[in-house]
Structure 1
Amino acid sequence: MPSEIALLESRALRADHLGRLDVLEKVKALQLLPDGLHVTTEGVAQYFGVHKEAVHSLVRRHRDELTSSGMVTLSGSDLRGPDVVKTTTSSEGAGESYPQRRRHQRLFTRRAMLNIAMLLRDSDVARCVRTYLLDTEELRQGQVADPRFDGLDRRVTNLESSMAQVGPALQELGPVLQRMSLRLETIDHRLDSMDRRFDGIDRRLDITQQVIGAMSVRLTDVVEDVADIKRQLHLKAPRQRRRKR
């Protein structure tokens, strides 16, 4: 049975326990980002009750191991996603704070956080996680091995590994969805503008039809008046001829 010191010193032993993600929630509640997959550096520091510089230091010493466990570093256009967190800094001499975007941001999956728990020495929460891991491992080894549970454990581990890859994909998809949303809003505005124009055209057509109807009535009256004048002239013509005779 490995000891806590062995777990701190051996990457291979830590890799054997990376599938036990349930331990994190059993020791302390996690505060995940809206994507439900990642935790920021501040969230990791808060979970383990340490300063975030301790997390930065741990990342510098074990970057490759944590990256293989699902840690990602976002920069550039990746920071435009909906789940990227803004930080607040103070303006020099003004004593006021205002939000600024980070130049880069590091995100951790549950698997990466469990990896940190097996590396972080000066944290009571990390020690509790390691103790829980070792105790449950001892219980499992004391029980009769069941191949059905071994297969299930492998499936859960594979599923968790797949979930760790979903986060970066969602981060890449975020800006695309945002651009599509803006385009759809632009199309909606244009359609509304066209509807208003069509309404104006309909009103003008109604007015034109009313004018045409009025002109038709007037033309009918004029035609009738002309017909009356012709009849009157036709009746007067014989009388004038008789008078001339």
Structure 2
Amino acid sequence: MPPEGALLESRSMRDSVMGRIDALDKVKALRLLPDGVHITTEGVARYFEIHREAVHSVVKRHRDELHANGMITLNGSDLQDFEMANLATSADGAPVSYPQGRAHLRLFTRRAVLNIAMLLRDSDIARCVRTYLLDAEDDLRKGYANLDRRVTDVETCLGGVGVALQELGPVLHRMSYRLDSLDRRLDATNQVVAAISNRLCQMSEDINRVDARVDDVVHQLRDLRRGRKRR
């Protein structure tokens, strides 16, 4: 597992785990504004248990990176509309108080807050978030390594099966040839049996005809004997 400081120093490493916003609530509940999406600078400071100036300092040093991960600054009519929609209560039911006449309002998404967690050096909460991220990535890598081993084992087994199939190839070919030969012989035998059956049918008809002729002869002989007796 890489050291916790790697996230502080490497933007590419931070980008690689930026999707793990679940790490925030695993360490501490993050209370968003009523829109369910954003949190103010003050809210970020409360989450990390630091002064808001520490948040401003991180923003100054990494403004582009934070903008890329959802940080926005509202002013003018956009600010007024947002304050009207989120002025009543915060996500946890507590009243929201905005300074009157502010010129702008900086807001952070969960992704931007996670980004700050990987940039803050002097916050125990931020350290816990970084540790959670690194542990989760380490578990993921171990899972991938275990999967790779299983895939390798399967490939090894399949390789053995391939060799066995290659060795069985000639045997299967010979068996196929013999089965074809048996099929041909069986067909020939069936033809002979069919011919014998036909011949037997013909013989049966011949026998029936002979029987009929014999019966005729017998009847004729009986008739002759009866004629003689009458004389």
Q: Distance in 1 between matches of 2:17 and 2:141?
A: 13
Counterpart of 2:206 in structure 1 is none
Q: State how 1:137-148 maps to structure 2 within 5 Å.
A: 137-144=137-144
Counterpart of 1:83 in structure 2 is 86
Counterpart of 1:49 in structure 2 is 49
Q: Distance in 2 between matches of 1:101 and 1:49?
A: 27
Residue identity in the other structure for 2:109? T
Counterpart of 2:92 in structure 1 is none
Listed one character per residue, the Cα deviations across residues 118-167 of structure 1 (whole Å, up to 9, x for unaligned) are 00000000000000000111111101377xxxxxxxxxxxxxxxxxxxxx
The offset of 1:80, in angstroms, is 1.2
Q: Distance in 1 between matches of 2:144 and 2:18?
A: 22
Counterpart of 2:23 in structure 1 is 23
Q: State how 1:88-167 maps to structure 2 within 5 Å.
A: 88=99, 100-144=100-144
Q: Distance in 2 between matches of 1:26 and 1:102?
A: 34
Scaled by the length of structure 2, the TM-score of the pair is 0.56
Q: State how 1:234-245 maps to structure 2 within 5 Å.
A: none
Structure 1 runs of 4+ with >4 Å offset: none
Q: Distance in 1 between matches of 2:62 and 2:7?
A: 14
Residue identity in the other structure for 1:87? Y
Counterpart of 2:59 in structure 1 is 59
Q: Distance in 2 between matches of 1:103 and 1:37?
A: 22
The offset of 1:87, in angstroms, is 2.5
Q: Distance in 1 between matches of 2:27 and 2:80?
A: 33
Residue identity in the other structure for 2:105? Q
Q: Distance in 1 between matches of 2:124 and 2:41?
A: 18
The offset of 1:83, in angstroms, is 2.4
Q: Distance in 1 between matches of 2:132 and 2:8?
A: 14
Scaled by the length of structure 1, the TM-score of the pair is 0.53
Task: Structure 2: give runs of 5+ residues left out of the alignment.
Answer: 88-95, 148-231
Residue identity in the other structure for 1:19? G
The offset of 1:46, in angstroms, is 0.1
Counterpart of 1:162 in structure 2 is none
Aligned length: 136
Residue identity in the other structure for 1:54? A
Residue identity in the other structure for 1:108? F
Counterpart of 2:3 in structure 1 is 3
Counterpart of 1:68 in structure 2 is 68
Task: Structure 1: give runs of 5+ residues left out of the alignment.
Answer: 89-99, 147-245
Q: State how 1:224-235 maps to structure 2 within 5 Å.
A: none
Q: Distance in 2 between matches of 1:25 and 1:68?
A: 22
Counterpart of 2:156 in structure 1 is none
C-alpha contact (below 8 Å) 1:86/1:102 kept by paired residues: no
The offset of 1:86, in angstroms, is 4.5
Alpha-carbon RMSD across the aligned residues, in angstroms, is 1.7
The offset of 1:4, in angstroms, is 1.1
1:23 match: secondary structure: helix
